[in-house]
Amino acid sequence: MTARWELGSLFDLAPWPVDAGADPGRRPWDEHDRRLTGTGRGALALALAGGGFRRVWVPSYLCQEVVTSIEDAGIPVARYADSPVDAEPGLAELALAAGDAVLIVSYFGVRRRQGASAAAAARGAAVIEDHTHAPCSAWALASTADYCVASLRKLLPIADGGVVWSPRGRALPPEPPVAAALAQAAATKLEGMVLKRLYLDGQAVDKVALRRLLAAGEAGLYAGTASGMTALSRAVLGAAPIGAWDRRRAACFAAFAAALPELPGVRLVRPEHADDVPFSALLELDTPARRDRVLQRCCERGVYPSTLWPLDVPGDDLPPAHRTLARRLLSVPIDMRYAPDDLVRAAGVVVASSG
Ligand SMILES: Cc1ncc(COP(=O)(O)O)c(C=O)c1O
């Protein structure tokens, strides 16, 4: 129990490994040829370079920095419809051509898209799967994609980190060295993580200043060039009890789900497959206004859900329903920083914030 209770936002310096000898879990990237990178975008860049693709199809609901990084690499991007609440991606009617790659996303660990992946491959496209939200899921472990990528710092308490692996044994460029810009950004972020730990422990640390460090470090991680993963993140990734942490998330999700009553306009998105472990407790609110109200009130009470991802980008190839969905979702962290009791408390905060 920390001296100052809050839940969410970027990682602090977590006490890793949680307990020595705890379950490291099965890691799909250790079962294939793989490269460890500084970021998820850097991992994707290696997959794209390896495949020499002419066009990349991306889902409409996606972190737009990922889309920009593909365009900046000079590869045309086209969109198909998919989101965390769609039953199936809208791939069937697309005119896939030779040289096309399709990026398929594992959304919040709540959906499996193996059928869509197989169908795209059967139609001649290369498949790149993004497993950021559930890198060791049953889907990721059984993947037959050309490439799989993940940004690892979203789920693990590391300042930087990404990985690309190829279940099909496709070519991958060599692992790049650690870029100076990434090392600098990761060091800045790490300062913020250490200070956040001290802050949570009750020390007289300036929260505004530590948040500035975290944001500056985060913003500097991807400088447009591929980078390897820092030595610290590599070591933590090697030692991290990912299997134990997956089970912790499952327990935290179950506690949150049990403690959250029926609330008007609030829906908890549950995993499609009961044995999948979600990335977070994803809440779908009925209107953007209610989402914004609940978000603000939660933050006033020390619960900081994420808004993943803003879709207010120009262009008419994004389904309006997905633009609105991006303004209706809240992602409540359930990771290894927390125990089930914390999520019971967080559910109480959501209840108090939703009236
Ligand atoms: C699903 C997903 N994939 C990839 C990325 C890119 O990761 P990175 O910021 O490490 O480049 C993000 C970033 O938010 C993401 O959410």
pLDDT tops 70 at residue 15: no
Classify residue 76 as exposed, middle or buried by CB count within 10 Å of its CB (0-12, 13-18, 19+): exposed
pLDDT tops 80 at residue 16: no
**Which residues are bridge partners to 283 per DSSP?**
268, 330
Q: Are 330 and 291 in contact (CB under 8 A)?
A: yes
Summarised one tens digit per residue, pLDDT across range 118-165 is 999 999 999 999 999 999 999 999 999 999 999 999 999 999 999 999
Ligand 1 contacts CB of residue 132 (under 6 A): yes
Percentage of residues of the chain with pLDDT beyond 70? 98
Summarised one tens digit per residue, pLDDT across range 103-122 is 999 999 999 999 999 999 99
Most confidently modeled of 16-25, 223-232, 275-284? 275-284
pLDDT tops 80 at residue 18: no
Mean predicted confidence (pLDDT) in 243-255: 96
Summarised one tens digit per residue, pLDDT across range 75-89 is 999 999 999 999 999
Helix H or strand E segment including 242:
helix 242-259
pLDDT at position 32: 97
Backbone angles phi, psi at 224, to 5 degrees: 90, -10
pLDDT band, residue 29 (cuts 50/70/90): very high
pLDDT at position 315: 80
Range with lowest mean pLDDT among 2-11, 29-38, 107-116, 138-147: 2-11
Ligand 1 contacts CB of residue 40 (under 6 A): yes
- CA 110 to ligand 1 center in whole angstroms: 17
Distances (CA, A) of 217 to 160, 182, 297: 9, 9, 27
Ligand 1 site-directed mutation target among 44, 65, 106, 129, most atoms within 8 Å of CB: 65
Classify residue 275 as exposed, middle or buried by CB count within 10 Å of its CB (0-12, 13-18, 19+): exposed
Ligand 1 contacts CB of residue 151 (under 6 A): yes
Ligand 1 contacts CB of residue 193 (under 6 A): no
Helices (H), 173-241: 180-200, 207-220, 231-239
Atom of ligand 1 nearest to the CA of 161: 10
pLDDT band, residue 219 (cuts 50/70/90): very high
pLDDT at position 263: 97
Per the prediction, the chain carries an average pLDDT of 95
Q: Whose CA is nearest to atom 13 of ligand 1?
A: 63
Nearest to 39 by CA among 210, 172, 202, 233: 233
Summarised one tens digit per residue, pLDDT across range 170-193 is 999 999 999 999 999 999 999 999
Atom of ligand 1 nearest to the CA of 43: 11
SS3 306: strand
pLDDT tops 90 at residue 3: no
* Strand order through the sheet with 100-105: 34-37, 162-165, 147-151, 126-130, 100-105, 55-59, 77-80
Ligand 1 site-directed mutation target among 41, 153, 329, most atoms within 8 Å of CB: 41
Q: Whose CA is nearest to atom 2 of ligand 1?
A: 132
